[in-house]
Structure 1
């Protein structure tokens, strides 16, 4: 088994008015692009267990640290992290490499960006693979107000927007502890605590459950977020109402073939009517929590490759 810390060296690529730090594998597989999009608070490094296998299967694998992460550009303006900018960055990557379209794979927030890129730029996305976060239909009221009405003010979506800067400062002050406590699996059930759960997590001295990664792997994330701070990545959340406005007149149906991979113990809710908006979706579930490709790397990789093989066979027939 290869050393997960033996990750490709990055290139800085100018796209969409910024620079993205991008990692590649399988550059010899020109013409078969596969773009991996991380979530929050993650990095391209979260795909460390997939990149070599996907490249060996014949893909040109491109994994960016998206804007706000790692050494990629970190604009100061909150609206620079809206879905138009985030999806435009992915299109810019394709333009840089000379690709008309690509298969996009996303986890968590990365899945949300990929879903929305599929409807904003349908000719640039050939297939979608989403882990954890399903496609979300556009509701009738702005998301922050909806979440606040259903869950209350302690939801991190609400807190990030209603109290800007507060959570960022706590995360910045407890970076290693927060990430150590967050990247866990097989966590025992616990009674809810008062306050915002992620702030409680960042300040908890004792982690729960089992670590998802080694200390060396965790250090990669800790070093990156100590350098960048959390505000740029949290700014993605501060655009959810803006994204709701921007998507008002966009055709909401994802028409590309799609694979949706859920974790059976993930706290992210499943979409009850996914097929209505993603008619060509296949849904599968793995016995894991939220950090799917890191908790079950071989199973996740094999699922993705098997599905892609079937899709490409159908394309040829």
Structure 2
């Protein structure tokens, strides 16, 4: 099958001062929107397995390449990738389609944007399905300082901020190798290697585990980042402390019903305090790693549809 045979063609949508590359399925289901938000370093194509199934189930599926990705705008200023801009893009996307509110689903960084969407634009979010990244309570000190104190200077969040441009150049020079080595499953447990994980992945010739996807699917990701480079997407990380300040005076409770899907082999552990911040959360674990909806596409889709069918909008 051609890699795009079951994934819609994109359109460019103007949202304020940027354009987003948006993939739609199920336009005939106008009035029942679900917005799917990808993670890093990914692409709307990460949702290729779920988009057609959700459309067949009666949803108007809206899958943006968020700012910095694919053929969406890539502003030069780092501050243009803070959480106010990222959630503002999604609110403007709803405006474009004439929707007051929608169900949102996110994976990885996309999950962080969706949690923040519920905090900053609560009236625009009816239900939440998030994968891999649980709700992150605001830390006592800014995020990067906190992460450096816990994980050290080689943690990639810290490295991206403290040594700007270094990792970007390595990833840009090794795009295919980096993505091929990153998108792995069934990775055996092992102690962390010295050095910065993402740079290690971009330079190693012996990746662990098995490929998450076919070479044909991987080619979509590789072509996208070969065209865009990695800096714009990494700039999301360079706003962690700015986001910490933006959320300082915001109600930290997510009031919408939420489904949190976790991979049992993921390095990101489940949150032990999630229900303190999301009173209406349900938890589900799948036997997989980090790339949940691509590693376990049928199980993920079934879980999403089952939960949506019984969990009506708040």
TM-score normalized by the length of structure 2: 0.98
Q: Distance in 2 between matches of 1:3 and 1:298?
A: 19
Offset of residue 176 of structure 1: 0.1
Following the alignment from structure 2 to structure 1, what is the Cα–Cα distance between the partners of residues 138 and 300?
A: 28
Structure 1 residues not aligned, in runs of 5+ = none
CA–CA separation in structure 2 for the residues paired with 1:34 and 1:245? 29
- Secondary structure of 1:270's counterpart equals coil
Residues 1:53 and 2:60 aligned together: no
DSSP 3-state at the match of 2:95: helix
Give the number of aligned pairs: 313
Is the CA contact 1:257–1:281 (under 8 Å) kept in the aligned structure 2? yes
Kindly state the Cα deviation for residue 207 of structure 1 after the two structures are TM-superposed. 1.8
1:270: how far off? 1.8
Asked whether the 8 Å contact 2:3–2:216 carries over to 1, the reply is no
* Aligned equivalent of 2:4: 5
Equivalences for 1:104-123 in 2 at 5 Å?
A: 104-123=104-123
Q: Does 1:202 align with 2:199?
A: no
1:253 deviation in Å?
0.3
Q: Is the 2:134–2:274 contact (alpha carbons within 8 Å) kept by the matching residues of 1?
A: yes
Question: In the alignment, which residue of structure 2 is the partner of 1:131?
Answer: 131
Which deviations, in whole Å up to 9, do the C-alpha atoms of 1:60-93 show, x marking residues without a partner?
0000000000000000000000000000000011
- 1:108-257 pair list within 5 angstroms: 108-257=108-257
Unpaired runs of 5+ in structure 2? Answer: none
| Cα displacement string for residues 94-131 of structure 1 (whole angstroms, at most 9, x for unaligned residues) | 00000010000000000000000001000000011000
Partner SS for 1:28: helix
TM superposition shift of 1:3: 5.6
Q: In the alignment, is the contact (CA less than 8 A) between 1:20 and 1:67 conserved in 2? A: yes
Contact 1:34 1:105 in 2 (8 A): yes
| Structure 1 residue 269, shift from structure 2 partner | 2.4
Q: How many angstroms does 1:4 deviate by?
A: 4.7
Secondary structure, counterpart of 2:29 in structure 1? coil
Indicate if the aligned counterparts of 2:34 and 2:103 stay in contact, CA closer than 8 A.
yes
User: SS state of the match for residue 89, structure 1?
Assistant: helix
SS in 2 for 1:192: coil
* Partner SS, residue 114 of structure 1: helix
Summarize deviations over 1:161-217 as a string: whole Å, max 9, x none. Answer: 000000000000000000000000001233432111111111001221100000000
Q: Is the 8 A contact 1:143 1:240 kept in 2?
A: yes
Task: State how far apart, in whole Å, the 2-side matches of 1:78 and 1:114 are.
Answer: 20
Q: CA RMSD in A?
A: 1.0
Aligned twin of 1:79: 79
Secondary structure of 2:252's partner? coil
The question of 1:70 aligning with 2:70 is answered yes
